[in-house]
A and B are shown apart, each in its own frame.
Chain A
Amino acid sequence: MNHPILMATLLLAPFVGFLINGLRYKRHSANLAGVIATTAVVISFISAILLVVDLVGLPPETRVISVKFFEWISVASLKINAGFVLDPVSAIMILVITGVGSLIHLFSIGYMHHDAGAAKYFAYLNLFLFNMLILVLGDSLPVMFVGWEGVGLCSYLLIGFWFTDDQKAAAGMKAFVTNRVGDAAFLLGMFILFLSFGTLTFSEINQLAPTDPTLAWMNPVTLGTLFLFIGATGKSAQIPLYVWLPDAMAGPTPVSALIHAATMVTAGVYMIVRLNPLFLAAPNTMMIIAIIGALTVLLGATIGMTQWDIKKVLAYSTVSQLGYMFLACGVGAFGAAMFHLMTHAFFKALMFLGSGSVIHAMHEEQDIRKMGGLKKYLPITHWTFFFGWVAIIGLPPFAGFFSKDEILAFAFFSPLGHEALWAVGALGATLTAFYMTRLMALTFWGKSRVPKDTHPHESPPTMSIPLIVLGVLSIVGGWIGIPHVIGAILPGHPENFLEHWLHHSIKPIPGLTPFDVTTEWVLMGVSVTLAICSAFVAYHMYVQAPQKPEKVAKAIGPVYKVIYNKYFVDEAYFAGIINPLVKASKGLWYYIDVNFIDKTTYVISDVVRGGGSLVRSLQNGNIQVYAMYISLGLVATLLFLLVR
């Protein structure tokens, strides 16, 4: 089959699903809607596979399939096509998106079957996939931006899916607005790039990207990348724009899995990877990215340790893991970032779906203090969740281990990296192990704290099958990127397949020397050990000595309070930005608009009116007085004529 048709199928299948479900949503039963939506995504998935197969068949140097549908915007030198390009990077993405997307759709059939708005839900979900595919396939920044905003929009719709709840609606809005801040920066980034490069197509930008890095700040490359990165922080929930993601958990849980864990939030990372030659040319930006990434790792992890809401924990975990990806990008390890993106998609989607299964079983209960000991009620969920857990805390040979390890290694070895970054990453891994174990412990293990009237039950097969598939992927997903040091000692010497695959798409880090094998082993050992220790500590604290956490919390008092309250960032934003803005706006309206401008015009009109009423006394309606004026005028005129 030819590529345009495949590409069109890939893109439009979800869109058609959206239209079918969206236009007739009142008349569809939940199941039918689900089936339609899932079918659409599966069709998309199949096309994606077919496309990728074709892509694999191409020689590595020219491994690009690009399709141009029509000219979208064409003004002067700005020519933007509705063009889509499939290359190794986007290939990974579409597989993940459509693959994980199919699973999540399948899961949703079960999860949403009792919801009246299920068809609407599936419509949104399909629309999301459509936009996400545009985002990853777009051949230029504006086309990517279409998807970029589109996914934000769907995220908004899905977060506010249960719109009758004011908080959920507010959460949706928060997500959209926060994203918009990023988008504005994204736009600026685009402008800067366009004005200096004259194009917005990825391939051309990457070609034109200067080869020698520049250290200047006011350089278009630095500025442009910086603004793009700010855009990425919005979409990918990095400091300072991460605040929307935890709130986004207001949406249905499969949505959290798909959008807020697996796909959308990784868009920022994907964008940076897409433009890696450009970013490499801006070391300053790279440094900022790395620092922000590292800080986000810590921030997410610390907050995650204190949360009681199962989804909030996962959300902060997502923030933290995304931090890893940015850390990887920041140190130039774009391949590692993509790798972690992929593995994270598997295990985090898995964990979210698992949590969804739990919530479903607990009748919409999300507080882990009311769970515990669910292992026996939900065996499948527990075991799949378990694999996700081992993957995320980085136990070899599960998926998370390889990707996280690669990131840490690059952080240490890359000329753009730093030992401190590695240390932060390792600390993050430790904390991750702690809070994930805590989550496991509180939810599945230990004594049951389930309220009497709740009877947890295992989910239907539509929900468990995706869990199992993702569980398997969490186990094996990491094996495509086995590091050289490990590959060297394994039987058959499996090479780093992913690195090979991305070889032509990713520019090597300038000045990168091959890793020192010993050091790498040591680092790997340290991080794994730390993680295991921390996991045990957590297990001890939450399963064996359930009163301990409280004591610890009391012991560190204020610190705990700060962390528990998410560092008061939301409050700070409200107090520092939003409230002043609203107040200022009201002030502007009241003082400037109503009182100043209008009053000024009133003054003018009063002056005119006053003058008028002064003159009006002359015009008192008495005709004879008018006649007198006329005659006086005549006298004056004649006098003038005579005297002259």
Chain B
Amino acid sequence: MLLSAVVFLPMLFALIVALWPNQRTLRPLALGFALIEFALSLGIFYYFDPSSSALQLVERYPWIERFGITYFFGIDGISLWLVILTTFLTPVALLGAWKSIEERVRGFLACVFILEAAMLGTFLAMDAVFFYLFWELSLVPMYFMIGIWGGARRIYATVKFFIFTMVGSVLMLVAIIYMMFLTAEAFGTMSASLLDFYRLDIPFISGQFLSPQTLMFSAFALAFAIKVPVFPLHTWLPDAHVEAPTPGSVILAGVMLKMGTYGFMRWVMPVFPEATVHYAWFFMLIGVIGIIYGALVAMVQPDIKKLVAYSSVSHMGYILIGLFALNEFGVTGGLYQMLNHGISTGALFLLVGMIYERTHSREISRYGGLAGVLPFFTIAFFIVTLSSIAVPMTNGFIGEFLILLGAFQANSVWGYFAVSGVVLGAVYMLWMFKRVFFGPQGELVKDEHHPLHDLSVREMFVLAPMIVLVFWMGLYPSFFLNYSKASLDHFVKNQAHYELAIQSGKEVAQ
């Protein structure tokens, strides 16, 4: 019940918000809803057993029995934090966008809630078709968020976003259907359940691309790789980010990209173990390319938001190599980095949005010397920057450290290359920071007709939890990792033949 409630409550909220008559109380209402949802998701902790690697709080009912499609929710250490991240970022994004969305607020808020529901469903659904449903559903609200409330080139961006992601998912759908037939062959009855996928033994012929496992693997991997996005498929991301409204960017970067990496962890690596091992080098390669390429391109961006977007490409490259390192360090680091990236990039987008609200420009060259004008804003930005470049004691460090260690352990060559991202990350972030905050005051900053105001109380409220998390996660990662430890250990140790048990867990109070 709990997981269903967590997933479907936002849908209800979306409906209420969409029909709410009073414009004035709309935003507080939505915020309240988002907080309720967050509190509800915290309830998962109460029932979650961190010592178990099994699927917990499972809800499983037949849905379309003929094809073995089930209504199947479950949570384990891998998805737990992503769920929390989602519910956490939603109120933050809403509060962050308090003023930036002026038109069609109702629709926007409804979109946010639907998106939240879809993302939560993606993280919790354990049935392929069910998963696919949520996966695709998440596209729609984001499509509208960018397309309606976006910037000048929003239509271009949103169509690009949609088509890119769609291309991958369609292949995935084909693969899912094929897998369902395989289950029918193997077990006699058709099933779309993830657990049955895990039990499948898909033929793999090393070095032959047309072997079934490799094909399925490629189809799934392509879908997730586009979402992540990995190097050559990333071009939708900067456009989408630049045009998206602030909360859209926050959620897109904070959670949606994680759907790709999460997909790898949940749907690719355990399902296609041989192919994963066999082609890990390729993903390491594009991961490393992504790190370096993203960083280099980010360095020369004239637009802050685009810079942050490319930095996401770089960071997601880390996550990818972490996951495909296939050892405890890499995978743990990868998962942790997903959370880090959600927090730090989310916060960066929020901050960029805040300054954009003040100056209506994101061009780096028009800024300069902001530090003298907006001290609190600068501090917040600086802390988030630190987190982004993985300075120790911030969350980013833990993730990057583990990922690099894992990559190094897997194959030191990747380690050597990937480490360069550490330097390049500092270069592009600090250079941007320098150009925006230091130096003589830029044209936007010294504009006397429009004096800039430092963070308002609301904005501080938005940023405070992010900053607290940056340090909390950096200083005491055990708190977070302990919940995932069992699952991740299980994940790595049984990579060759992954099975996921179902644990009834503590009795869920109805």
Contact = CB atoms under 8 A, between A and B. Distances in A.
Interface of A: 26, 70-78, 142, 145-146, 148-150, 153, 156, 160, 163-166, 169-170, 172-173, 176-177, 180-181, 183-185, 187-188, 190-192, 194-195, 581-582, 584-586, 588-589, 592-593, 597-598, 601, 605
B271 interface: no
A585 B401 contact: no
A570 B393 CA distance: 32
B392 A191 contact: no
B369 interface: yes
B438 A160 contact: yes
Contacts of B160: 601
Contact of B408 (A77, A149, A153, A195): A195
A187 B404 contact: yes
B430 A173 contact: yes
Q: Which of B327, B430, B489 has the most CB of A within 10 A?
A: B430
A597 B423 contact: no
A129 to B, nearest CB: 15
A191 B431 contact: no
B328 A597 contact: no
B415 interface: yes
B235 A598 contact: yes
A166 B404 CA distance: 34
Contact of B420 (A150, A170, A184): A184
A584 B300 CA distance: 10
A72 B427 CA distance: 28
Contacts of A78: 329, 402, 405
Contacts of A581: 296, 299
A7 B391 CA distance: 23
Interface of B: 160, 163-164, 232, 234-235, 238, 293, 296-297, 299-301, 327-329, 332-333, 369, 371-372, 375, 386, 391-393, 397-398, 401-402, 404-405, 408-409, 412, 415-416, 419-420, 422-423, 426-427, 430-431, 434, 437-441, 475-478, 481, 485, 489
Contacts of A156: 430
A183 B390 CA distance: 11
A582 B299 contact: yes
Given A74-B481, A164-B440, A589 B404 contact: no
A187 B427 CA distance: 17
Contact of B297 (A26, A149, A184, A589): A589
B300 A582 contact: yes
Contacts of A586: 300
B481 A180 contact: no
A592 B478 CA distance: 41
Contact of B235 (A77, A183, A582, A593): A593
Contacts of A195: 408-409
The majority secondary structure among interface residues of chain A is helix
The majority secondary structure among interface residues of chain B is helix
Contact of A163 (B163, B293, B438): B438
Contacts of A146: 392-393, 397
Contacts of B371: 163
B470 to A, nearest CB: 14
Contacts of A74: 478, 481
A180 B423 contact: yes
Contacts of B391: 149-150, 153
A559 B282 CA distance: 51
A73 B477 contact: yes
22 contacts: A70-B476, A75-B485, A76-B332, A149-B391, A150-B391, A153-B386, A163-B369, A163-B372, A164-B369, A164-B438, A164-B439, A165-B439, A169-B434, A173-B434, A177-B427, A180-B423, A184-B419, A187-B404, A188-B419, A195-B409, A585-B300, A597-B235
Contact of A75 (B328, B438, B439): B328
B423 A181 contact: yes
Given A74-B481, A75-B332, A588-B293, A191 B423 contact: no
A601 B420 CA distance: 29
Contacts of A165: 439
Nearest to A147: B392
Nearest to A70: B476
B437 A163 contact: yes
A177 B426 contact: yes
Nearest to A26: B375
Contacts of B475: 72
Contact of A191 (B386, B405, B438): B405
Contacts of A598: 235
Nearest to B295: A585
Q: Which of A163, A176, A586 has the most CB of B within 10 A?
A: A163
A76 B329 contact: yes
Given A71-B478, A586-B300, A176 B426 contact: yes
Contacts of A183: 422-423
A339 B407 CA distance: 39
Nearest to A162: B438
Given A76-B328, A172-B438, 12 more contacts: A70-B478, A73-B402, A76-B332, A160-B434, A163-B372, A163-B439, A164-B440, A180-B423, A188-B419, A191-B415, A582-B300, A589-B297
Contacts of B441: 164
A589 B437 CA distance: 24
Q: Which of A145, A184, A581 has the most CB of B within 10 A?
A: A184
A188 B416 contact: yes
Q: Which of B234, B329, B416, B431 has the most CB of A within 10 A?
A: B329
Given A164-B372, A188-B419, A191-B405, A73 B437 contact: no
Nearest 4 CB-CB pairings of A with B:
A169-B438, A76-B328, A146-B392, A163-B438
Contacts of A592: 293
A76 B340 CA distance: 20
Contacts of B369: 163-164
A593 B333 CA distance: 28
B401 A588 contact: no
A187 B235 contact: no
Given A73-B398, A142-B401, A191-B409, A170 B434 contact: yes
A582 B488 CA distance: 39
A146 B401 CA distance: 11
B164 to A, nearest CB: 8
B64 to A, nearest CB: 32
B439 A169 contact: yes
Contacts of A26: 375
A20 B44 CA distance: 38
A331 to B, nearest CB: 29
B213 to A, nearest CB: 27
A73 B478 contact: yes
